């Protein structure tokens, strides 16, 4: 191929030269197409040999596969190579195809620059390069010309759009630049594209305002989502675009009210997504006029006001999402006449009043989330309710009600979340009649009575959480039938007796918490039970486990598990209590008749062939429930009080939605715990579709920062610190008792391990690696100190905070904790940080001086000393203590400083090691003002590494 390629290139160049001035000779033009395509083919990889028919001996390419010619001139007009698994650079060959109008290379693995299309770009009518690996900028000489349709989506293009790009844009009908890394404001010449129907700029880093939108009055779909656009949506713009069908502005920084002029779209618009912006003002009262609206998403804005009764006019509405706003008042009962609704999400608003009972009758509804409002009253499910519901979340309201037993009839219900309400009475035994329930969360209510034996019928259950109730009786043995169960939370109840040993057979269990009950006896011998820690078991009457601190207290006179009769009696008790409850029996009765009716009506629905439009990804919701439960359990050991965490996982990169956690189980696996940070455990977790690994670091202590908004602001500041030598901060999880930071994950361990705890099989760090670590760390610190006002101070420089990549490039982690913890009590800081013995600058020991960046420079100096000498900053001998900096300083004065250099480092240049040691001593000066700044340190290090004929004496 290499030879052919060279040959073709030669041919190509010579033909180019030969063609000059011969444009009118038809015989050459025919060959141009063959030649151009052969040159193109020779430069790419075609693993499935799709292009075998492209033969350089042919005089015309018109019979070749994927090639079409214009019959009138016999020249190639169309090439369509979508999805053929081709790769490589496109080369300059295609520039020869002067009559080409349509080119599609989409869904291949082409890479390199798109420059190579050259001037044919301007004569093309349709170009589709979507879903490849093209990189670099859009070249300045690309001008629309006669282009009607341009699709560059799903590549790696960067930089701004050149100003001339839209210069002559009147032919353009469809443009997608989505899913690249393009940035900057759009050129205002975009307003010349007056015939544009579809504009998709989604998933880039475009910024600036959008006042020019109004001149593109033929737009039908407009997608600006996932960018950094800002400003208001001009009233004029929406009034001008009459035919708009889809408006996607989600995940930007738009502000101001939702423009009233959207009403002018009343006959066309079917989809509006304004979610994740900063829109303010009242929820639009005119919404009812948009009669074709199917998809309405205003979630995560700052909208206020009420939902108008005219919502009921939206007969086509399938999806309604308003979560995370400040909308108040009642949920209008008229909503129940939107009979197509398949998803309603009103989570986290200020709705009050009761839940309109009509909602439960919506036959298409699959997903109902009205959690985190102030809804009151009963849950009135009634007959014939919810044929298709899969996800039902009423948690965090003030519902005072029994759990309606009809819920057990919802055939496809997979997630039921009723946490934190005032639910009363027993847990109905029939909750799992339909058998699909995977997540059952009833925590934080006032439920009484026992866990029903029928819980064993919930065969699909993998998360069962009943904690913080007044549930009594013993844990039923039937729970051992829950083969899928992964998480079991029963803490803070009145459960008594022993844990049935059969639960030890539950092989999928990853987390169990039975703390604060009245349980006694020995733990099941199998499964997860023997490894349960104190936080899962404490606060019981007499649970015994080798892992529980303190002596095993058997408060009961005799251990129950030794006495089979006692065990049976207890089960007997339990059953008796169940049977004697007349209300329970009544519910059963009710239940069967309702069950029959619903079963029949469901069958009718199925027979009549109702088409189900699945807008929802329930498995994503299930995963989200798992993620939340898992995060809570990471935090569980710190929730001392009876209250539940109100957790929220925030990830700064919108492409990494929390739902994207591939495998939430990893949160809970023992191996996912990878170490100890300053304030607690560090976990390794895979996020997102590509399974990108991140670390979760626990910041548990007493209250760190009391207000989530303060915490959010501080963490966002730290997340702006992006540098190759810093571990990036990606997000956080917040509850009043526990905070987790989400950071970049470095797979190759830290400097502490590499330097002091290395296995004998691992070679010692070489001098050039050590120098690279010193210089990289210095650059990272310099970035923290000099790119932020006020500077970010690390405050805890030590080798275990320097993570290494496979090429020994250092990345500083845990920076900025001091900033994050400013509100933390002083003694906690001291107790936690003093453990980094030897790194603490002397002025901090006496706490009178303010923390500033000079403390980090001291710590950095100690780190250099440690890297050069391979010794720890403080070492205890038999009868002496060696302070490393003093030791090196004295050796230097005595002229034998090279004796301090780490002997495991075979070979090193003295003219680098010596000045580096001197730099370290200046950095560890006792007087803060004599220490250099980090930028000076970086400069000095770079001078040390620069080969100078006669090494200058720099100290
Ligand atoms: C293009 O992809 C090939 C593998 O197909 C790779 O070897 C090459 O480095 C890539 N070039 C660029 C510029 O990404
Ligand atoms: C580009 O090609 C892909 C796949 O071949 C197709 O899905 C997409 O709609 C095309 N883009 C345009 C604008 O036609
Ligand atoms: C815009 O492009 C993105 C990425 O290709 C795609 O996911 C989205 O559906 C497109 N928007 C519209 C309205 O088609
Ligand atoms: C439940 O879900 C299954 C599979 O998605 C579907 O075939 C069935 O029709 C659903 N049942 C109802 C009552 O919607």
Task: Note the pLDDT of residue 797.
Answer: 85
- Given a contact cutoff of 8 angstroms between Cβ atoms, the answer to whether 818 and 795 are in contact is yes
Q: Are 47 and 107 spatial neighbours (Cβ–Cβ below 8 Å)?
A: no
Among 1, 110, 111, name the best residue to mutate to test ligand 1's pocket (greatest count of ligand atoms within 8 A of Cβ): 111
Q: So what's the pLDDT on residue 641?
A: 40
Please tell me the distance between residue 296's alpha carbon and the centre of ligand 2 in angstroms: 26
Window from 135-149, 257-271, 650-664 with minimum mean pLDDT: 650-664
Q: Which is it for strands 648-651 and 729-735: parallel, antiparallel or unpaired? A: antiparallel
Average pLDDT over residues 90-97: 90
If you measure from the C-alpha of residue 133 to the centroid of ligand 1, how many angstroms do you get, rounded to a whole number?
A: 9
Quickly state the pLDDT bin for 878 (edges 50, 70, 90). Answer: low
> Can you tell me the distance from the alpha carbon of 33 to that of 28, in angstroms, rounded to the nearest whole number?
9
> Does residue 940 register a pLDDT over 70?
yes
Q: What average pLDDT does range 200-205 have in this prediction?
A: 95
Ligand 2 centre from 107 Cα, in Å? 9
Examine the pLDDT at 714 and tell me if it is beyond 70: yes
Token pair 């301007």 in the structure block, residue: 122
685: how many CB neighbours lie within 10 A of its CB? Answer: 25
**pLDDT of 623:** 59
Highest mean pLDDT among 26-30, 347-351, 545-549, 900-904: 347-351
pTM: 0.66
CA dihedral (853, 857, 860, 862) positive or negative: negative
Q: Residue 624 corresponds to which tokens in the numbers above? A: 């989200």
> Residue with the nearest Cα to atom 10 of ligand 3?
200
Residue 63 burial (C-beta neighbours within 10 Å; 0-12, 13-18, 19+):
exposed
Contact of 735 with 752, CB cutoff 8 Å:
no
Mean pLDDT of 487-499: 93
Q: Are 129 and 105 in contact (CB under 8 A)?
A: yes
d(CA 822, CA 931): 24
> What ligand 2 atom has the least distance to the C-alpha of 151?
13
- Site to substitute for ligand 2 among 105, 110, 128, most atoms within 8 A of C-beta: 128
Instruction: Output 421 or 387, whichever has higher pLDDT.
Output: 421
| SS3 per-residue string spanning 367-387 | EEECCCCCCEECCCCCCCCCC
Given a contact cutoff of 8 angstroms between Cβ atoms, the answer to whether 102 and 125 are in contact is yes
Residue holding tokens 């002496």?
Answer: 880
SS3 sequence of 328-357: EECCCHHHHHCCCCCEEECCCCEECCECCH
Q: Count Cα atoms within 13 angstroms, Cβ side, for 693.
A: 10
Give CA–CA dist 767/917, Å, rounded: 13
Cα-to-chain-centroid distance, residue 466: 28
Phi, psi of 750 (to 5 degrees): -115, 170
Strand pairing class (681-687; 673-676):
antiparallel
What average pLDDT does the segment 624-639 reach?
A: 60
Question: Which residues are known binding-site members for ATP?
Answer: 697
- Is the model more confident about 474 or about 673? 474
What sections of 20-72 are H helices per DSSP?
Answer: 26-42
Pocket test for ligand 2, best of 104, 132, 150, 220 (most atoms within 8 A of CB): 104
Beta bridge partners of 544: 522
For the chain, domains (ranges, CATH) are 3-176 (3.80.10.10), 400-585 (3.80.10.10), 597-745 (3.30.200.20), 754-955 (1.10.510.10)
Report the pocket of ligand 3 as residue ranges, CB < 6 Å. 153-154, 176, 178-179, 200, 202-203, 221, 223, 246, 248
What whole-number distance in Å separates Cα of residue 87 and Cα of residue 133?
9
Which phi and psi angles does 541 have, rounded to 5°?
-75, -40
* Cβ pair 885, 842 in contact under 8 A: no
Query: 387 C-alpha to center of ligand 4: Å?
Result: 9
Give the confidence band of 818 by pLDDT, cuts at 50, 70, 90: low
Q: Give the pLDDT confidence score for residue 3 in this predicted structure.
A: 41
Average pLDDT over the chain reads 80
Nearest ligand to the C-alpha atom of residue 612:
4
Residues with CB under 6 A from ligand 4: 387-388, 411-412, 602, 606
| Average pLDDT over every residue of 413-424 | 93
> 199: which strand partners?
175, 222
Average pLDDT of span 76-95: 94
- Per the structure block, which two tokens stand in for 206? 């475009």
Assess contact for 393 and 417: CB atoms under 8 A: yes
Please give the number of the atom of ligand 1 that sits closest to the Cα of 112: 13
Ligand closest to Cα of 342 equals 4
SS3 assignment, position 406: helix
Ligand nearest to the CA of 603: 4
Cα dihedral 923→924→926→930 (10° resolution):
-10
659 C-alpha to ligand 4 centroid (Å): 23
* Nearest residue by C-alpha to atom 6 in ligand 2: 106
pLDDT at 943: 75
- Of the bound ligands, which one is closest to the alpha carbon of residue 151? 2
Give the mean pLDDT of 633-659: 57
What number does the ligand 4 atom closest to the CA of 388 have?
Answer: 14
Least confident of 167-176, 194-203, 299-308, 641-650: 641-650
What letter would DSSP give residue 528?
Answer: T
Closest ligand 1 atom to residue 45 Cα is: 5
pLDDT at residue 704, as a whole number: 53
Q: 264: which DSSP letter?
A: G
Give the alpha-carbon dihedral of 619, 623, 626, 628, to 10 degrees: -130
Report phi then psi at 478, rounded to 5: -60, -15
Structure tokens at 19: 């063609």
pLDDT at 424 > cutoff 90: yes
pLDDT of residue 334 exceeding 70, the answer is yes
Mean pLDDT of 881-892: 84
CA pair distance 625, 393, nearest whole angstrom = 11
Distance (angstroms) between ligand 1 centre and the Cα of 110 equals 8
Check whether 7 has a pLDDT greater than 70.
Answer: no
Return the ∠ at Cα 823 (arms to 822 and 825), rounded to 5°: 100
Residue 559 has pLDDT above 60, yes or no: no
> Which residues contact residue 745 at a Cβ distance below 8 angstroms, ignoring those fewer than 6 apart?
684, 693, 694, 695
Query: Average pLDDT, stretch 356-365?
Result: 89
Distance between CA 232 and CA 219 in Å, rounded? 19
Q: Would you state the pLDDT for residue 825?
A: 44
Cα 467 from chain centroid (whole Å): 28
What is the SS3 assignment for 215?
helix
Mean pLDDT of 859-870: 93
Q: Please give the average per-residue pLDDT across 142-160, as a whole number.
A: 95
Q: What 3-state class would DSSP assign to 488?
A: strand
Q: Burial letters for 340-370: b for 16+ Cβ neighbours within 10 Å, e otherwise?
A: bbbbbbbbbbebbbbbbbbbbbbbbbbbbbb
% of residues, the chain, pLDDT over 90: 45
For ligand 2, the distance from its centroid to the CA atom of residue 105, given in whole angstroms, is 10
**What's residue 947's pLDDT?**
54
Compute the chain's Rg from CA coordinates: 34
Distance 88 CA to ligand 1 centre (A): 6
pLDDT in tens, 169-182: 999 999 999 999 99
Alpha-carbon distances, residue 851 vs 715, 789, 793, 933 (angstroms)? 19, 15, 8, 15
Cis bond before residue 790 (omega within 30° of 0)? yes
Number of Cβ within a 10 Å radius of residue 762: 10
Contact (Cβ atoms closer than 8 angstroms) between residue 253 and residue 228:
yes
**Residue-level pLDDT at 851:** 64
């Amino acid at each position: 191929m290499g030879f052919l390629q060279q040959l073709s290139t030669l041919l190509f160049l010579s033909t180019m030269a030969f063609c000059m001035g011969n444009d009118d000779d038809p015989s050459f033009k025919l060959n141009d197409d063959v030649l151009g395509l052969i040159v193109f083919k020779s430069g790419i990889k075609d693993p499935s040999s799709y292009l075998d028919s492209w033969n350089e001996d042919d005089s015309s390419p018109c019979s070749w596969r994927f090639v079409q010619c214009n019959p009138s001139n016999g020249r190639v007009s169309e090439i369509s190579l979508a999805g053929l698994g081709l790769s490589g650079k496109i080369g300059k060959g295609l520039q020869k195809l002067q009559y080409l109008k349509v080119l599609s290379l989409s869904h291949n693995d082409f890479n390199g620059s798109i420059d190579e299309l050259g001037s044919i770009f301007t004569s093309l009518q349709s170009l589709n390069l979507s879903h490849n690996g093209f990189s670099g900028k859009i070249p300045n000489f690309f001008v629309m010309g006669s282009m009607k349709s341009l699709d560059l989506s799903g590549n790696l293009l960067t930089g701004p759009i050149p100003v001339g790009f839209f210069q002559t844009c009147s032919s353009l009908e469809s443009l997608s630049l989505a899913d690249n890394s393009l940035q900057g404001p759009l050129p205002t010449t975009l307003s010349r594209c007056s015939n544009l129907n579809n504009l998709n700029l989604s998933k880039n880093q475009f910024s600036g305002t959008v006042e020019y939108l109004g001149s593109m009055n033929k737009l039908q779909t407009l997608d600006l989502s996932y960018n950094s656009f800002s400003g208001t949506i001009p009233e004029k713009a929406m009034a001008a675009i009459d035919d708009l069908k889809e408006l996607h502005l989600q995940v930007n920084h738009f502000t101001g009210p939702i423009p009233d002029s959207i009403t002018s779209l009343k006959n066309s618009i079917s989809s509006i997504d304004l979610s994740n912006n900063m829109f303010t003002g009242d929820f639009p009262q005119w919404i009812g006029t948009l009669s074709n609206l199917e998809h309405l998403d205003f979630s995560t804005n700052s909208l206020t006001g009420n939902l108008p009764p005219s919502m009921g006019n939206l007969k086509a509405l399938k999806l309604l999402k308003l979560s995370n706003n400040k909308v108040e008042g009642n949920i209008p009962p008229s909503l129940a006449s939107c009979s197509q609704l398949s998803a309603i999400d009103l989570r986290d608003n200020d709705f009050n009043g009761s839940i309109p009972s009509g909602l439960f009758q919506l036959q298409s509804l699959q997903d109902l989330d009205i959690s985190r409002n102030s809804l009151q009253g009963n849950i009135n499910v009634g007959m014939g309710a919810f044929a298709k519901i899969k996800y039902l979340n009423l948690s965090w309201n003030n519902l005072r009600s029994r759990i309606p037993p009809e819920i057990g009839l919802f055939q496809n219900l997979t997630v039921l979340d009723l946490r934190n309400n005032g639910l009363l009475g027993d847990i109905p035994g029939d909750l799992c009649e339909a058998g699909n329930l995977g997540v059952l969360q009833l925590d934080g209510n006032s439920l009484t009575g026992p866990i029903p034996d029928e819980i064993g019928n919930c065969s699909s259950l993998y998360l069962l959480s009943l904690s913080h109730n007044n549930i009594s009786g013993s844990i039923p043995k039937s729970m051992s039938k829950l083969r899928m169960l992964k998480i079991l939370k029963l803490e803070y109840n009145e459960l008594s007796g022993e844990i049935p040993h059969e639960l030890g057979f539950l092989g999928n269990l990853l987390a169990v918490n039975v703390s604060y009950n009245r349980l006694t006896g020995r733990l099941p011998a199998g499964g997860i039970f023997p490894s349960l820690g104190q936080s899962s078991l404490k606060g019981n009457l007499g649970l015994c486990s080798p892992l529980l601190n303190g002596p095993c207290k058997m408060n009961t006179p005799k251990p129950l598990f030794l006495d089979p009769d006692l065990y049976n009696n207890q089960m007997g008790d339990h059953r008796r209590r169940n049977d004697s409850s007349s209300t329970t029996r009544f519910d059963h009765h009710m239940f069967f008749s309702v069950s029959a009716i619903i079963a029949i009506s469901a069958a009718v629905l199925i027979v009549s062939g109702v088409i189900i439009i699945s807008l929802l990804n329930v498995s994503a919701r299930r995963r989200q429930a798992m993620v939340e439960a898992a995060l809570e359990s990471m935090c569980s050991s710190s929730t001392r009080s009876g209250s539940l965490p109100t957790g929220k996982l925030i990830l700064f990169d919108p492409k990494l939605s929390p739902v994207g956690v591939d495998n939430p189980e990893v949160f809970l696996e023992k191996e996912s715990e990878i170490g100890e940070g300053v304030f607690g455990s560090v976990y390794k977790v895979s996020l997102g579709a590509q399974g990108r690994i991140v670390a979760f670091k626990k910041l548990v202590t007493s209250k760190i920062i009391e207000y989530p908004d303060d915490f959010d602001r501080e963490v966002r500041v730290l997340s702006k610190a992006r540098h190759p030598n810093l571990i990036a901060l990606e997000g956080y999880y917040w509850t009043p008792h526990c905070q987790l930071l989400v950071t970049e994950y470095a797979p190759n361990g830290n400097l502490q391990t590499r330097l002091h705890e290395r296995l004998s099989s691992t070679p010692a760090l070489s001098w050039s690696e050590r120098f690279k670590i010193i210089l990289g760390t210095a650059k990272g610190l310099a970035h923290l100190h000099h790119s932020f006002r006020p500077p970010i101070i690390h405050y805890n420089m030590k080798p275990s905070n320097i993570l290494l990549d496979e090429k020994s490039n250092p990345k500083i982690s845990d920076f900025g904790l001091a900033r994050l913890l400013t509100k933390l009590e002083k003694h906690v800081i001291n107790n936690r940080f003093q453990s980094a013995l030897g790194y603490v600058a002397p002025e901090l020991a006496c706490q009178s001086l303010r923390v500033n960046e000079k403390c980090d420079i001291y710590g950095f100096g100690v780190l250099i000393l440690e890297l050069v000498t391979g010794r720890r900053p403080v070492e205890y001998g038999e009868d002496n203590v060696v302070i490393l900096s003093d030791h090196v300083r004295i050796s230097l004065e005595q002229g034998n400083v090279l004796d301090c250099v780490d002997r495991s480092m075979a070979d090193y240049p003295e003219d680098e090691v010596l000045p580096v040691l001197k730099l370290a001593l200046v950095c560890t000066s006792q007087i803060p003002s004599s220490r250099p700044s980090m930028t000076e340190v970086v400069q000095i290090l770079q001078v040390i590494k620069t080969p100078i004929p006669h090494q200058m004496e720099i100290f």
